[in-house]
């Protein structure tokens, strides 16, 4: 058996370095890289570990100094007897470089998406789908809610649900549905167990307990000399006077369960009377009364509520799934849920009778998994664990890296205790990485002292379960600096923080991070930075095309590219164009006439007199005359509509300029639309507040995994949390997380019931989990800085919190001002950049983008050329997705191609392109592509080329690269394929060949291959 290891890695202790070494160790031990699976939780981490692995391999193969260091570190892990065959390692490196697409290094979301795409989606007959975020899913949640009302049968079921969940704000119903969707995995796992749950409690009748309670009250009243009703609080006096006490308690149960009914001052001991025994008896009997009342209410109110919810859930999921399958828009939560739900469907053949993965499953993921490495394991959810567990069970080597102190994603299913107990669950060894390479000495000591204190603080019930092992530091000349800033009556903490920034970091803001708990507080800080002209960057979740200043422009582009008439109407009625309601109605009713007017085949004075419509007409003419190119129309679109005069704040202008720059990265508008639809969540489509250089503003969750030279951690004043909870889904599994042991669907209004039943511990556990996660948030924030830490506390009362009490009055070390001055940066202002040197910041679009000048540059274009170009792109896409020239593969690739391009060119044009005659032509031209002689085939292969040692590397993307390996003394062959729809560029083809030769030379295999080049004509 191989290696089973749990690496517990505190912040900055080199887990990526260690995982990369373990990966190379597996390669040296003879495991094919195709059989090694690495999973992380962020794209950044995926990129880092992939880059580190390739860098280590290159250094070991070609750079002596680095080779010795890496070999030494490998022997520290595997022992001095660990032998490295460098000739074999070079072959491995060459194999990886030739087959980078076979590296199995994924984010957990990307891996699940791969399973969904290759296993579940084909089963559900889904050939193309869009991944959306939670904001994008709001529309589908709203549609789900609407459908529940439209369908009479569904509404009858849902009506009872609404009666049990009466809310004033209709949006809270949407929130309930969203919660049910996010917690769906729990119900999938519950169904998997196929168990029945007996939830009702036995309880004593309240009559006898009420009688005992009355008797004790009477005894105390006799001793104290009060009338019994005088002993009760005002709100409970009626209880004593009514003869129907049991009914009264049931009617006012929440008051009784939340409060003691007697007045404490009336039943205190006095010199005349010691009633300690009687008060103890009163308290005990009242506790029994409440417990039995709560159990009765649980049976009669909570269980029916849950049954009603469970009955409704099936309907909600059915309606939601119908919309999802129709619109084919999925969140990563959806993809995880559907993958788990269908992966274990035995009809698919990927799970055997014992619940184990079959060989067919591993064929789908292109190889058996002999080694599996999982990073940031503390963020793994139970559903993700259930998907991974079967793969882990089949693996020889298992290494899971994590840090329970950095588990801050409990709100989205991250299960900290799973990692805490993982060594027991999979019977693995534990190793602790306890040397921090990131932070300086003073910061390490500060963090150690603070969290040792928290872990030993037994006064806080939850912190007694929070363990901390001190970490070591690396000796450095700069010992680091820590100070605490606390707001006071004269000056706010935020103002003092700004003073520190301007004093110590004037015009040198790179390497500074400001971290806070929520986006709301970051926006407040951003405003303050703007007031002092301090540059910053604040990532927004908002999509650029959804902004009020951009959406009308985007909708016009959608109309131009896709003929989306509704998008055009949305733009016309926006604040930018603002046509009258009367005209809007006319355009809705007269779509064909308006389109004829646009084509100059219909005269309408009503349209001719409207300036906005004349502009739209002009834009359409430019779009057609320039074949949909962005280089002229992007500028004309913004200027002709007066966008910058109507949206004229500095932020608006920056958004418009950012959008303009984005459009200019595409040659054609249809390429922009396709990319946006396929990659909506890409950061390039997000709004960025601030400047490209400056202070980085991040929430704690966004800062995880990052580091900064200096960190300002802003702690806002504590605010009371809302008592509103709404519906909750509580969930318990066995200690190995194999099966559900109990669950409860409840509403916050029943919390008082749950709190009075000793057997129910959900609320206590949830509270403790939240408290522990808050400590984790603090730990993550304080471990981001390398050199300098400023803890900024808005209100001194915040320090009354036990976990924050040691933060006050700390100043340790000194700030290295010389180091900061040496790193001062110079701003190179470009005409396309923000001009920070003038009083009013502005954004310039260069004069050469003038419309008329642009037309002169473009010259006369032929629409037929554009049609051929688009058709060529479509055929290119078709060939990329075609593995073999067989009827089955052709139909599959056609389905994907039609799904992607129907909205762009229409079904008629696609049928023409893929007619029998055209497919026959393609087959004759492309025979070489599908020959069996090739050992490796790569689409969109990236190569680098340097004309000289001093020159910068150029990046080229080859349409297709095919490799035949050398055999014995016979040279291998590499064929570069370039798809063309027009003229051939001989110089470009020569550069491609040189780039591939250069790559082979770097691997010292250039003498083993002949390089060929061929064009494939895509005009049909």
Which amino acids are annotated as binding site, given as ranges?
9-16
Strands, E assignment, 635-784: 686-690, 695-699, 708-715, 727-733, 740-747
Tell me how far the alpha carbon of residue 164 is from its chain's centroid: 33
Cα–Cα distance list, 56 to 18, 87, 93, 280, 609 (Å): 12, 15, 10, 71, 69
Tell me the C-alpha distance between 306 and 153, whole Å: 20
Neighbours of 970 (CB within 10 A): 10
| Calpha distance 103→99 (Å, rounded) | 7
DSSP E strands: which ranges in 762-892?
785-793, 811-812
Do residues 406 and 11 touch, judged by C-beta distance below 8 A? yes
Residue 873 CA to residue 678 CA, distance in Å, equals: 16
Q: Which two tokens stand for residue 636?
A: 């004309």
Q: Are 685 and 544 in contact (CB under 8 A)?
A: yes
Kind and range of the H or E element at 655?
helix 650-664
Q: What is the largest CA-CA distance in the chain?
A: 113
Rounded to whole angstroms, the Cα distance separating 526 from 536 reads 7
Whole-number Å distance between alpha carbons of 87 and 567: 61
Residue identified by tokens 């582009």 is: 557
Residue written as token pair 């202790």: 13
Beta bridge partners of residue 1010, listed in sequence order: 973
- Three-state SS at 107: strand
Taking the alpha carbons at both ends of the chain, their separation in whole angstroms is: 57
Indicate the SS3 state at residue 459: coil
Distance CA 743, CA 190 (A): 8
**Rounded Cα–Cα distance for residues 573 and 960 (Å):** 46
> Which position has the token pair 């060529």?
872
Tell me the backbone φ, ψ of residue 608, rounded to 5 degrees.
-60, -30
Whole-number Å distance between alpha carbons of 486 and 496 = 8
Binding-site annotation: residue ranges for ATP: 9-16
CB-facing half-sphere around the CA of 259: CA atoms within 13 A: 15
Structural Rg of the chain based on CA atoms: 34
Region for residue 70 given its phi and psi (left: phi exceeds 0; alpha: psi -120 to 50; beta: otherwise): alpha
Contact status, residue 858 vs residue 626, Cβ threshold 8 Å: yes
Nearest CA-CA partner of 10 in 443, 300, 317 = 443
Other Cβ atoms less than 10 A from the Cβ of 318: the count is 13
- Write out the two tokens for 775: 């400590």
43-62 helix and 86-98 helix, angle to the nearest 10 degrees:
140
| Alpha carbon of residue 929 to chain centroid | 38
In a 3-state reduction of DSSP, which class is residue 543?
Answer: strand
d(CA 616, CA 620): 6
Nearest alpha-carbon partner for 779 in 536, 522, 515: 515
Nearest of 606, 607, 600, 556 to residue 577 by alpha carbon: 556
DSSP structure class, residue 885: S
3-state DSSP call for residue 575? coil
């Amino acid at each position: 058996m191989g290696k089973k290891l749990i690496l517990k890695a505190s912040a900055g202790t080199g887990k990526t370095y260690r995982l990369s070494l373990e990966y190379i160790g597996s390669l040296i031990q003879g495991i094919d890289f195709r059989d090694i699976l690495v999973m992380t939780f962020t794209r950044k981490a995926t990129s880092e570990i992939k880059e580190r692995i390739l860098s280590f391999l290159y250094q070991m193969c070609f750079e002596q100094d680095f080779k010795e260091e890496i070999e030494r570190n490998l022997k520290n892990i595997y022992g001095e007897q660990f032998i490295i065959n460098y000739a074999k390692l070079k072959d491995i490196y060459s194999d990886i470089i030739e087959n980078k697409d076979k590296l199995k290094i994924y984010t957990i979301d990307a891996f699940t998406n791969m399973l969904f795409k290759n296993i579940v989606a084909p089963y559900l007959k889904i050939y193309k789908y869009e991944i959306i975020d939670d904001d994008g899913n709001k529309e589908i949640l709203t549609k789900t809610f609407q459908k529940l009302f439209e369908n009479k049968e569904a509404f009858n079921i849902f009506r009872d649900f609404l009666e049990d969940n009466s809310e004033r704000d209709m949006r809270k119903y949407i929130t309930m549905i969203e919660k049910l969707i996010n917690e769906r995995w729990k119900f999938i796992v519950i169904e998997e167990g196929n168990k029945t749950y007996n939830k009702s409690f036995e309880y004593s009748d309240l009559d006898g307990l009420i009688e005992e309670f009355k008797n004790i009250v009477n005894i105390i009243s006799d001793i104290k000399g009060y009338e019994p009703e005088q002993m009760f609080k005002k709100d409970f006096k009626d209880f004593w006077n009514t003869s129907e006490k049991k009914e009264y308690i049931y009617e006012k149960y929440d008051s009784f369960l939340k409060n003691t009914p007697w007045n404490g001052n009336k039943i205190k001991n006095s010199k005349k009377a010691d009633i300690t025994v009687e008060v103890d008896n009163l308290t005990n009997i009242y506790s029994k009364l409440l417990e039995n009342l709560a159990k009765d209410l649980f049976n009669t109110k909570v269980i029916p509520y849950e049954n009603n919810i469970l009955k409704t859930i099936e309907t909600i999921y059915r309606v939601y799934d119908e919309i999802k399958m129709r619109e084919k828009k999925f969140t990563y939560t959806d993809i995880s849920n559907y993958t788990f739900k269908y992966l274990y469907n035995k009809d698919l053949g990927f799970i055997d009778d014992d619940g184990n993965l079959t060989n067919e499953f591993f064929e789908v993921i292109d190889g058996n998994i002999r080694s599996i490495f999982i990073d940031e394991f503390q963020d793994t959810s139970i559903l993700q664990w259930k998907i991974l567990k079967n793969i882990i069970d089949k693996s020889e080597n298992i290494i899971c890296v994590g840090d329970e102190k950095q588990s801050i994603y409990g709100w989205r299913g991250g299960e900290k205790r799973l990692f805490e107990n993982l060594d027991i669950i999979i019977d693995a060894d534990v190793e602790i990485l306890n040397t921090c390479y990131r932070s300086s000495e003073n910061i390490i000591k500060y963090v150690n002292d603070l969290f040792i204190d928290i872990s030993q603080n037994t006064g806080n019930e939850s912190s007694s379960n929070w363990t901390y092992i001190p970490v070591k530091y690396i000796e450095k000349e700069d010992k680091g600096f820590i100070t605490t800033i606390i707001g006071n009556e004269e000056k706010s903490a935020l103002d003092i923080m700004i003073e520190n920034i301007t004093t110590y970091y004037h015009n040198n803001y790179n390497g500074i991070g400001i971290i806070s708990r929520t986006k709301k507080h970051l926006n407040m800080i951003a405003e303050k930075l703007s007031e002092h002209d301090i540059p910053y960057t604040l990532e927004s979740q908002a999509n650029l095309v959804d902004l009020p200043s951009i959406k009308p422009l985007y909708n016009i582009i959608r109309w131009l590219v896709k003929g989306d008439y509704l998008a055009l109407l949305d733009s016309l009625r926006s604040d930018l164009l603002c046509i009258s309601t009367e005209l809007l109605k006319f355009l809705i009713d007269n779509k064909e006439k308006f389109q004829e007017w646009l084509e100059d085949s219909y005269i309408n004075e009503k349209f001719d007199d409207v300036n906005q419509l004349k502009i739209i007409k002009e834009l359409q003419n430019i779009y057609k005359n320039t074949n949909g190119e962005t280089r002229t129309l992007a500028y004309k679109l913004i200027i002709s509509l007066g966008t910058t005069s109507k949206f004229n704040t500095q932020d608006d202008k920056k958004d418009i300029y950012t959008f303009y720059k984005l459009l200019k990265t595409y040659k054609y508008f249809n390429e922009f639309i396709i990319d946006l639809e396929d990659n909506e969540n890409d950061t390039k489509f997000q709004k960025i507040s601030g400047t490209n250089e400056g202070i980085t503003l991040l929430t704690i969750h966004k800062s995880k995994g990052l580091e900064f030279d200096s960190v300002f951690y802003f702690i806002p004043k504590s605010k009371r949390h809302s008592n509103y909870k709404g519906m909750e889904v509580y969930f318990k599994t066995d200690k190995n997380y194999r099966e559900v042991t109990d669950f409860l669907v409840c509403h916050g209004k029943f919390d008082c019931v749950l709190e009075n039943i000793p057997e129910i511990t959900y609320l206590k556990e949830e509270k403790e989990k939240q408290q522990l996660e808050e400590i984790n948030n603090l730990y993550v924030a304080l471990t981001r800085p390398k050199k300098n830490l400023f803890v900024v506390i808005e209100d001194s009362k915040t320090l009354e919190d036990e976990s924050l009490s040691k933060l006050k009055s700390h100043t340790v070390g000194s700030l290295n001002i010389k180091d900061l001055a040496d790193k001062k940066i110079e701003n190179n202002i470009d005409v396309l950049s923000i001009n920070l040197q003038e009083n009013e910041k502005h954004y310039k679009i260069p004069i050469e983008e003038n419309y008329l000048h642009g037309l002169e540059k473009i010259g006369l274009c032929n629409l037929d050329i554009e049609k051929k170009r688009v058709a060529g792109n479509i055929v290119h896409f078709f060939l990329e997705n075609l593995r073999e020239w067989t009827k089955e593969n052709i139909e599959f690739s056609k389905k994907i191609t039609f799904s992607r391009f129907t909205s762009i060119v229409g079904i008629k044009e696609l049928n023409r392109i893929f007619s029998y005659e055209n497919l026959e032509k393609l087959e004759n031209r492309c025979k070489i592509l599908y020959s069996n002689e090739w050992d490796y085939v790569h689409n969109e292969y990236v190569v680098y080329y340097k004309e000289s040692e001093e020159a910068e590397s150029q990046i080229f993307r080859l349409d297709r690269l095919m490799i035949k390996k050398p055999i014995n003394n016979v040279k291998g062959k590499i064929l570069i394929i370039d798809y063309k729809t027009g003229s051939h560029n001989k110089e470009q083809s020569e550069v491609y060949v040189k780039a591939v030769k250069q790559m082979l030379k770097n691997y010292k295999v250039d003498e083993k291959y002949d390089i060929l080049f061929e064009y494939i004509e895509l005009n049909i």
